[in-house]
Amino acid sequence: MAKYLPEPFRIKMVEPIRLIDMQSREDALRTAGYNVFGLHAEDVFIDLLTDSGTGAMSQHQWAALMEGDESYAGARSYYRLAEVMQEITGFRFFMPTHQGRAAENILSALLVKPGQYVPSNMHFDTTEANILARGGRPTNLVIEEAFEPANRHPFKGNMDLDKLRHFIQAMGVENISFGMITITNNAGGGQPVSMENLRAVSAIYHEFGLPFFIDACRFAENSFFIKQREPGYAHKTILEIAQETFSLADGATMSAKKDAIVNIGGFLAMNDEALFQNARNELILREGFPTYGGLAGRDLDAMAVGLREGLDEAYLAYRLGQTAYLSERLLESGISVIQPSGGHAVYIDAGGLFPHIPQGEFPGQALVVEMYRRGGIRAVEIGSVMFAHPDPDTGEMQYPKLELVRLALPRRVYTQSHLDYVTDTLAEIASDREQVSGLRFTYAPELLRHFTARFEPV
Ligand code: F0G
């Protein structure tokens, strides 16, 4: 059998992209304050900024849009989504939200009291920010292997179970709002969490009476990794693995812009009825009526179809094959990437690539800027720009353990030759790395600063 499976689809509609010249790219960078979030997307040749909302919908999803019921309350679209939600997640209650962070906001607003901790393997930045915004303390307790880029542990997203137990005991259960886990672990390389670990995490949270919520953005990719790598799961379907995953938790937040392959959407789901009633009131206040939650009826239909498509095995094999391909080609070119490759993205160890740039001068951001300058490629820093922050008790700057650059692959969008171009560009950068210098802030907001910060070269 071929090592990498080709796309299990053919292309019916195309969107032109163009590579503007080097001088124009340099001008664009300067205008954007060396923050690629500030670029005009049409000036980007290959956009690996995110896999969020950037996927290509299928003909079935486009067709479903036409069926959208735009009734304010009780739309058919809602009931179609509810049926899929029930089948896949099994949670008693759910509400659509316009995206993942809206679900995180509602959950944090209801459960987090100032000073309380929220443990997880690793929180994504929006989750972290939503907890912080309520005065809470997001805490990351992923296994140590997650911080060793070359370690090929099959489930590097796993929670460190001893750390979790000790943490809950040391902080006191009354100082913890609820427990989370992120699948796959985006902030730690898109690495999966095993079912064994999910089961144990669930048992620990429940032993202490803590509600357990899954950040389920990439639950289908996580399920596929479980099928491939965990003993006892090879013969289960992805749907069965997803069902088992959700059965361990009391609820979930999800950005449907990932594994449900829609351009906008998300949900908050749970089993607790009282919590649901409060959440529904928050939803009405902030998002919309509970049967549409800030989305159009057609968005709910696209989500319902996408949730099922995301579980398709031929699709997942191609998808995870694409990240594995990119990762292997980069390794062959001598570029250190987090191993094994993640589900939705390949993470370059920018700290390792640019040892001459100190963490305070953002080696990851320097690589992001250089990729755009050289090749019109847009990627995202997942390092000190995103995560360095002063300790709330001591005020001392806390740097993340790794300075990464994420190449996120939109779903069903780019082909292998796009990925080859990306590899060639990175190989060129690596061959004259000494010429690349660091950056410093000229503007940085307090929360989620990577989106709007501005820089200048050091
Ligand atoms: N949780 C995880 C693990 C995520 O990756 C994201 C989004 C969110 C929550 C928030 O969802 O964007 O719909 O509000 N991640 C995107 C990314 C932005 O590029 O990784 P959202």
Q: Give the model confidence (pLDDT) of 258-292 as tens digits.
A: 999 999 999 999 999 999 999 999 999 999 999 99
How far apart CA 139 and CA 279 sit, in angstroms, is: 23
Ligand 1: residue of 47, 49, 52 to mutate (most ligand atoms within 8 A of CB) is 52
Average predicted confidence (pLDDT) for the chain: 96
Overall average pLDDT of the 436-440 stretch: 96
CA–centroid distance, residue 260 to ligand 1 (Å)? 13
Q: Which atom of ligand 1 is nearest to the CA of 257?
A: 13
Closest CA to 157 of 202, 198, 125, 103: 198
Q: What are phi and psi of 199, to 5 degrees?
A: -65, -45
Mean pLDDT on 183-203: 96
Structure tokens at 34: 């060396």
Residue nearest to atom 1 of ligand 1 (CA): 124
The residue type at 268: L
User: What is the pLDDT at residue 352?
Assistant: 93
Please compute the mean of the pLDDT values over residues 282-311 and round it to a whole number: 97
Q: Where are the beta strands (DSSP E) in 53-151?
A: 93-97, 117-120, 137-140
Give the C-alpha separation, 377 to 152, whole Å.
28
pLDDT at position 1 is 67
pLDDT digits (tens, 9 = 90+) for 375-398: 999 999 999 998 888 887 888 889
Ligand 1 centre from 102 Cα, in Å? Answer: 11
Distance 186 CA to ligand 1 centre (A): 8
Predicted confidence (pLDDT) per residue in 24-73, tens digit? 999 999 999 999 999 999 999 999 999 999 999 999 999 999 999 999 99
Pocket lined around ligand 1, Cβ cut-off 6 Å: 50, 52, 99-101, 124, 126-127, 182, 186, 215, 217, 255, 257, 266, 408
CA of 257 to the centre of ligand 1 (A): 8
Distance from the alpha carbon of residue 218 to the mean position of ligand 1, in angstroms:
10
Structure confidence at residue 387 (pLDDT): 84
Residue 2 has pLDDT above 80, yes or no: no
**Atom nearest to 345 CA in ligand 1:** 20
What pLDDT is stored for residue 5 in this prediction?
78
- Cα dist from 268 to 138, 255, 410, whole Å: 19, 9, 23
pTM for the predicted model, two decimal places: 0.95
In ligand 1, the atom with minimum distance to the C-alpha of 380 is 19
| Count of all residues that appear for the chain in the document | 458
State the average pLDDT over residues 90-113: 98
Tell me, what's the pLDDT at 66? 98
| Cα–Cα dist 83/293, whole Å | 16
Q: What are phi and psi of 47, to 5 degrees?
A: -105, 100
* CA separation for the pair 111, 30 (Å, rounded): 42
Rounded to the nearest angstrom, the gap between the alpha carbon of residue 272 and the centroid of all alpha carbons in its chain is: 26
Taking the centre of ligand 1 as the mean of its atom positions, its distance from the CA of residue 169, in whole angstroms, is 30
**Predicted pLDDT at 366:** 98
Q: Which residues pair with 213 in a beta bridge?
A: 180, 251
Q: Say how far residue 420 (Cα) sits from the centre of its chain.
A: 24
How confident is residue 319, by pLDDT bands cut at 50, 70 and 90?
Answer: very high
Prior bond of 340 cis (ω within 30°): yes
pLDDT value at 116 more than 90: yes
CA–CA–CA angle 180, 184, 188 (5° rounding): 90
Ligand 1 mean position to 253 CA, how many Å?
10
Per-residue buried b or exposed e for 46-75, using 16+ beta carbons within 10 Å of the residue's own CB: bbbbbbbbbbbbbeebeebbeebbeeeeeb
Mean pLDDT for 238-242 is 98
Q: What pLDDT is attached to residue 390?
A: 83
Is it the case that residue 326 has pLDDT exceeding 70? yes
- Helix 22-31 to helix 363-375 angle (10° resolution) is 140
Q: Which of 104, 140, 184, 186 is the best mutation target for the ligand 1 pocket, counting ligand atoms within 8 Å of the beta carbon and taking the most?
A: 186
State how far the Cα of 6 lies from the Cα of 317, in Å rounded to an integer.
Answer: 9
Ligand 1 pocket, mutate which of 105, 142, 253, 258 (most atoms under 8 A from CB): 258
Q: Whose CA is nearest to atom 11 of ligand 1?
A: 100
* Pair 91, 271: CB distance under 8 Å: yes
pLDDT band at 3 (very low <50, low <70, confident <90, very high): confident
Has residue 329 got a pLDDT over 70? yes
Task: Give the Cα separation of 345 and 380 in Å (integer).
Answer: 11
Please state, in angstroms and rounded to a whole number, the distance separating the CA atoms of residues 69 and 454.
42
Handedness of CA 391, 395, 399, 401 (dihedral sign): negative
- 402 band by pLDDT with thresholds 50, 70 and 90: confident
Q: Which atom of ligand 1 is nearest to the CA of 344?
A: 20
- Dihedral through CA 137, CA 208, CA 232, CA 343, nearest 10? -10
CA 433 / ligand 1 centre spacing (Å):
31
Nearest CA to ligand 1 atom 2: 124
